[in-house]
Copies of this chain bind each other. A is one copy, B any other.
Amino acid sequence: MSNKIRLGIVGYGNLGKGAIQAIKQSPDMELVAVFTRRAPESLKLEDANVKAEHISNASDYQGKIDVMLLCGGSATDLPEQTPQIASMFNTVDSFDTHAKIPEFYQSVNEAAKNTTAIISVGWDPGLFSINRVMADAILPNGENYTFWGKGLSQGHSDAIRRVEGVKNGVQYTIPSEDAMEKVRSGSNPELTTAEKHRRVCYVVAEEGADKTAIENEIKTMPNYFADYETEVNFISEEELNRDHSKAPHGGFVIRGGETSEGTKQIYEFSLKLDSNPEFTSAVLVAYARAAYRLSQEKQFGAKTVFDVAPSYISPKSPEELRKDYL
């Protein structure tokens, strides 16, 4: 009999696929099954020991799976799936609709009567949130700043592709170096989102299209680009496919604070990610360890990353951590 933590994955999109990779790197865990709304036989799982199952069969796995990784989307999947699955299993999810978190927490907390459900896990919300809270607690007299990027923005890339004469294109959100330097100097400036970021577009134009008109239309597009410093680069379709097919992301949480008059202290956390979904999945898998351990301690109900001590996500023993990491 195995002593590994037995995991299930619900949803076989980018996050679910990333979770499979992350579990492979975790010797204390094993993947039991992947649940999908599609026909289960359509999933191409490499590992023959992992079952593909229809989501309606999830309840059959009670007692066979310790933690379910919920890898669906925040818009419609998770508000329904998390409470439903959390009534049967310990769960971890990446619910990221910031404004609806309190309401989501309530509904999951009511469902997780005898299970532990860690919600909104990932990097933002997730690691960034932890750093905002800790920096604020340590430096009460200060200001938090979050910068996103360099990252591919799906919404802005879609907006570019709707412009007439554009065949294809992507958009990167990039933190403004100027704004970051101001924040790192400890001057705690007032900055709008537009002042904190610039937008860089790589556009493939249709043959014979008017590039000046395209550039102008992008740069003046309200909400998406008009308020931002925007750069438009025209490239070939090959260049687009070669250089811009990954989903990099990342960002910075910086707090500038003063511990006494004029004594500045700068706290900074950052991520530079080749793959946003793979990293998010890696965070989910580490927090699955915490969900399992908290449930063993009968700490049931909905939790967030704020409720989880660092040792709970580590595979190392407390003795090892004190000896080698402190």
Interface residues of A (CB under 8 A from B): 18, 21-22, 25-26, 98, 101-102, 105, 120, 125, 127, 129-130, 132-134, 136-141, 184, 186, 250, 259-260, 262-275, 278-279, 281-283, 286, 289, 304-311, 313-316, 318-319, 321-323, 325-326
Q: Which residues of B contact A313 (CB under 8 A)?
A: 133-134, 137-138
Q: A326 contacts B282, CB within 8 Å?
A: no
Interface centre among A98, A130, A265, A314, by most chain B C-beta atoms within 10 angstroms, is: A265
Which residue of chain B lies nearest to A318 when distances are taken between CB atoms in the complex?
B306
Q: B310 contacts A133, CB within 8 Å?
A: yes
Q: A265 contacts B274, CB within 8 Å?
A: yes
Q: What are some 22 contacts across the A-B interface (CB < 8 A)?
A: A120-B326, A127-B134, A127-B138, A133-B325, A134-B310, A134-B313, A134-B314, A136-B316, A136-B325, A139-B282, A259-B278, A260-B275, A263-B275, A265-B282, A268-B269, A269-B270, A305-B326, A306-B311, A306-B314, A306-B325, A307-B309, A307-B318
Q: A271 contacts B282, CB within 8 Å?
A: no
Q: Which residues of B contact A263 (CB under 8 A)?
A: 274-275, 278
Q: Which residues of B contact A141 (CB under 8 A)?
A: 25
Q: Which residue of B281, B289, B326 contacts A259 across the interface (Cβ within 8 Å)? A: B281
Please report the C-alpha to C-alpha distance between residue A254 and residue B30 in the assembled complex, in whole angstroms: 28
Please report the C-alpha to C-alpha distance between residue A308 and residue B318 in the assembled complex, in whole angstroms: 13
Q: Which residue of B120, B270, B325 contacts A129 across the interface (Cβ within 8 Å)? A: B325
Please report the C-alpha to C-alpha distance between residue A319 and residue B264 in the assembled complex, in whole angstroms: 30
Additional 5 contacts, C-beta under 8 A, given A127-B134, A263-B275: A21-B259, A262-B274, A267-B271, A307-B311, A308-B310
Please report the C-alpha to C-alpha distance between residue A282 and residue B22 in the assembled complex, in whole angstroms: 36
